[in-house]
Amino acid sequence: MSVTKTLFDTMPDGREVYLYTIENNNGISAGIITRGATLQSFNCPDKEGKMGDIIMGFDKVADHIKSGTYTGNVIGQYANRLCNGKFTVNGTEYQVTQNEKGKTCLHGGGEYNSALWKAIIIDDCAVEFSYHSPDGCEGFPGNVDVTVVYSLNDHNELEINYEAVSDKDTILNFTNHAYFNLGIENGNVLDHELMLNCDYFTPTDADSIPTGEIRSVEGTAFDFRTPKKIGKDIKADDEQLIMCRGYDHNFCVNGEIGKLRTVAKVTDEKSGRKLEVMSDLPGVQLYTGNFIDGTETGKGGIVLNQHYGFCLETQFYPDTPNQPNFPQCTFKAGEKFKSTTIFKV
């Protein structure tokens, strides 16, 4: 087990961005950079033992900044969307940044993922990243102190532990926005087989805001309870898929909220790599890189085309504060937000 720290790049204003690489005794390694506490790489062997990076992303900080993909970033203060950028806490309505079509708030307006996080090495398998979000930043109430600990063990589990506390009652919803591709040398992820431990999903309107309905996946293109290729039904005649050009939806994870359970399992026959996702959160956004369009060049000079990565963003459901029938994510001043997501290869 080891953790190494190296200079990765610089921010546009000259501040240094560091890369922390955690390697386990099987030679598997995860790299995290301080800009956005971003999961930069996750190297694991294919069926022939050849190491490969399963994170779709960029080599340079400037490309991360330019891109609208949020790849590998930690997202806060509210991951996913808020309708009209509004919500109410204790009877006070808050207006936050409407950074999507001038209408919705997407991924907290981009604050946490653009920030330079502090990092400390905890031991030979874990690094803690921390960030202080000032009260009112992007319109969100509360001074929020958040820590995200990445650790890797010899079961090849990359564990991400989130903890946050605010000094005002507020909404909190964090995720990691990694795009995975278990064999990017072979192209897009449509042939990857996906299992989702989810009986229901939350359909959306044209702005990707949940309508409030919690719909059964039974008999729909959204049924991944038995493993199927991501691409199998992605072009189905379903208004939800047509609207989003593929999957870009929150699924409701089966099992008890607050308990770690399997969210998803993905296998790629071609590379022989696999990924399992576990989380204690209520939901997961399956996003199949629908809006990636070949205009960006990723790590190693690979042109990023549509569906070149899939995201499994563990989260509270989108727009939760405006949807009384969803599991709520308003936290009292001083109350600790705690959550764990594991990516196991």
What DSSP string runs through 199-247? Answer: EEEE-B-TTS-B-S--EE-TTSTT--SS-EETTSSTTSS-HHHHHHTS-
How remote is the C-alpha of 261 from its chain's centroid?
17
By CB under 6 A, the residues from 240 to 269 that bind ligand BGC are 248
By CB under 6 A, the residues from 188 to 247 that bind ligand BGC are 208
- SS3 label, residue 137: helix
If binding is defined by CB under 6 A, does position 90 make contact with ligand BGC?
no
| H or E stretch covering 111 | helix 111-114
Between 121 and 190, whose beta carbon lies closer to ligand BGC?
190
Between 249 and 273, whose beta carbon lies closer to ligand BGC?
249
Count the Cβ atoms, other than its own, within 10 Å of residue 334. Answer: 10
- What are the residues whose beta carbons fall under 8 Å from the beta carbon of 273, sequence distance 6 or more? 44, 45, 46, 47, 52, 54, 182, 183, 267, 345
- Catalytic (active site) residue 177: yes
Rounded CA gap, 35 and 11, in Å? 8
By CB under 6 A, the residues from 56 to 85 that bind ligand BGC are 68-70
Interface region with ligand BGC, contact rule CB under 6 A, candidates 8-16, 124-132, 226-234, 285-293: 285-293
Which of 64, 107, 177, 249 is an active site residue?
177
28 in Cβ contact with 10 (< 8 Å): no
- SS3 label, residue 73: coil
Binding footprint of ligand BGC, residue count (CB under 6 A): 9
Between 148 and 165, whose beta carbon lies closer to ligand BGC?
148
225 in Cβ contact with 217 (< 8 Å): yes
Q: Per-residue x/- mask for ligand BGC, residues 106 to 135, rule CB under 6 A?
A: ------------------------------
Between 68 and 136, whose beta carbon lies closer to ligand BGC?
68
- Catalytic (active site) residue 64: no
Least separation, in Å, of the C-beta of 210 and ligand BGC?
Answer: 12
183 in Cβ contact with 268 (< 8 Å): yes
- SS3 label, residue 298: coil
How remote is the C-alpha of 96 from its chain's centroid?
21
Number of helices (H), then strands (E), belonging to the chain: the values are 3, 31
By CB under 6 A, the residues from 304 to 343 that bind ligand BGC are 313
Among 166, 181, 285, 323, binds ligand BGC (CB under 6 A): 285
Between 20 and 112, whose beta carbon lies closer to ligand BGC?
112
Between 20 and 343, whose beta carbon lies closer to ligand BGC?
343
Least separation, in Å, of the C-beta of 68 and ligand BGC?
Answer: 5
Least separation, in Å, of the C-beta of 154 and ligand BGC?
Answer: 31
Binding residues for ligand BGC, rule: CB under 6 A, are 68-70, 208, 248, 285, 287, 291, 313
